A and B are shown apart, each in its own frame.
Chain A
Amino acid sequence: MFKRIVPTAIAAAVGVIVLTGYLLPRGLPAYPVFAFLRDRLIQWAAIVAALAFILGFFNVLRVHLRRITRGKSNALYSSLLIITALISLALTLIGLTAPLFHTAETATLRQTLVTASNWWFQYVLSPLQASAAALIAFTLTLAGFRLLRGRKTTRERLLAVLFLLAAVIVLIGTLPPLFGPVAGPLGYLKNLVMNVLTTAGVRGLLIGVALGTLLMGLRVITGLDRPYSDS
């Protein structure tokens, strides 16, 4: 019982304090107290979240070391991942801590290591990320081509056709005006789809999500939902 009550009480109390800190009118005498507590609790949460990155790093090492020790098929890639992770960690730490070791003797070494750290991010990590991102256009296009295949009922097929039609109209309507007399109506259709239909749909979706989020937040603050506890 103790293990259930304490986390719930802490979560509820912190939630109420932070919420009150945001919603209390500034003119009230209690506002400075709640604002101070709000800022302090948010700072602590940010520190805990930063520590979570260390947990995440060790989780990555653990998963991939296990693959290597068990001789799984992707052990080579896991080895490469661990090596590059450790190199990235070392270079980042050096780049961040270099200003602390400010002596004349270490100036050249320090500059070299900071340059290596920046080079690693600029010419290795960023291009790799951009390459992975470049694949998204292809996977989305392939998904569009496959869209009608998996739809069995008439309603599903109709919705799929409308989805594809909207995508085609927006894509073609976004192109430079190459289509002569068709350019005007295409541009109008594209604006209609983007500014009216899509905006209305997205706003409705976001209102629904906001209300769902609101109710879930209330349940977490009041302790009815306890995703952090053993129950």
Chain B
Amino acid sequence: MSGLITSGHVLGVLIAAFAIWLLLRLLFRVLPARLQTQTRPLPVFSRLPKELGYSAENGTPLHFGMGLGRLGSERTLASLAAMETLNNLAAAAAAYGTPPIVTVGDPTLLPVAEDTLRWAYKRRGTPERYNPTLVRYLADQPVIYAAAAADIVRHENVYGNVLIGSFDEEISLVTHAAESNGLPQSAACDRPQGLSALYPAVGHLAIGEEMFAGLAQLTRLPHHLVSLPVQDILRFLVAVMILLAALRIL
């Protein structure tokens, strides 16, 4: 820990976050629905089920890129957010019969992504229809991942390009391939380098924490929806502390 921030500070933040979350969760149980969390539309996530349906009508799969986040690194939770998104689409994907081609840039994501799709087929009662090559580990080097994903987008007759997770500027190789084929694109990314490459290229983009908010919008689960006002409260507190520090009060 650095000299300014100690483990006590971190523990305090964690406890405060959890306490606020718990309080709001209990409060939302008694509040009427119209006073609970309302999310503004995030097309990246609200359109995903429709995009999956259109791809099924077209008979071609979506490309679902989960990026380079490795379980056990600073990108873990962005990857888990992408995994949760896939989890919510997996049931529909299994029902439609045109499941997405899922690409991962780290092998630690591979078994989790495979299990997500396999369980969806198992819950439907059609485990024999699960195709193990739907989930593909491409490369753990960002450039090689992007080049391989670009090849899939360009040559495997996909309906659209969806990129959710942690990406760097190399992702422009993938978006360029999709744009060349005239494919609709949407993306959610938590890193500034990836966002700067995605912003010019994709039609719908979720920036930073919108990835987590979009997940709440997709799942509509209470513990996801309660997390959003908690983030707002904590952000407000952080902004106040920065202001006070800048004014040399703190």
Instruction: Say whether A and B bind each other.
Output: yes
* A residues adjacent to B (C-beta < 8 A): 19, 22-25, 45-46, 48-49, 52-53, 55-56, 59-60, 62-63, 66, 73-74, 129, 132-133, 135-136, 139-140, 142-144, 146-147, 150, 160, 163, 202, 205-209, 211-220, 222, 224-225, 227-228, 230
Interface status of B13 (Cβ within 8 A of chain A): yes
CB-based nearest B residue for A63: B133
Contacts of B17 in A (CB 8 A): 214-215, 218
The listed residue (A56, A133, A147) touching B143 by CB distance below 8 A is: A133
Do B137 and A209 touch across chains, with their CB atoms under 8 A apart? no
Interface status of B92 (Cβ within 8 A of chain A): no
Given contacts A208-B209, A212-B231, A214-B17, contact A49 B173 (CB under 8 A): no
Q: Which of B107-164 contact A (CB under 8 A)?
A: 107-108, 110-112, 115-116, 119, 122-123, 132-133, 135-138, 140-141, 143-144, 146-147, 151, 155
Q: Which of A48, A49, A219 has the most CB of B within 10 A?
A: A219
The listed residue (B14, B140, B169) touching A218 by CB distance below 8 A is: B14
Q: Give Cα A25–Cα B8 distance, bound, in whole angstroms.
A: 8
Q: Give Cα A208–Cα B100 distance, bound, in whole angstroms.
A: 29
Tell me the smallest distance from the CB of A213 to a CB of chain B, in Å.
4
Q: Give Cα A192–Cα B12 distance, bound, in whole angstroms.
A: 36
* B residues adjacent to A (C-beta < 8 A): 7-8, 10-11, 13-14, 17-18, 21, 70-72, 77-78, 80-81, 83-84, 87, 106-108, 110-112, 115-116, 119, 122-123, 132-133, 135-138, 140-141, 143-144, 146-147, 151, 155, 169-170, 172-173, 175-176, 179, 190, 192, 195, 197, 199-201, 203, 207-209, 211-213, 223-224, 227, 230-231, 234-235, 238
Do A140 and B197 touch across chains, with their CB atoms under 8 A apart? yes
Q: Give Cα A225–Cα B83 distance, bound, in whole angstroms.
A: 11
Contacts of A209 in B (CB 8 A): 78, 190, 208-209
CB-based nearest B residue for A143: B200
Contacts of A56 in B (CB 8 A): 107, 110, 137, 140
Q: Give Cα A146–Cα B176 distance, bound, in whole angstroms.
A: 10
Tell me the smallest distance from the CB of A34 to a CB of chain B, in Å.
12
The listed residue (B108, B123, B207) touching A49 by CB distance below 8 A is: B108
CB-based nearest A residue for B212: A212
Contacts of B136 in A (CB 8 A): 59-60, 63
Do A143 and B80 touch across chains, with their CB atoms under 8 A apart? no
Q: Give Cα A52–Cα B83 distance, bound, in whole angstroms.
A: 17
Q: Which of A25, A56, A135, A215 has the most CB of B within 10 A?
A: A215
Q: Give Cα A211–Cα B238 distance, bound, in whole angstroms.
A: 10
The listed residue (A55, A216, A222) touching B81 by CB distance below 8 A is: A216
Contacts of A45 in B (CB 8 A): 72
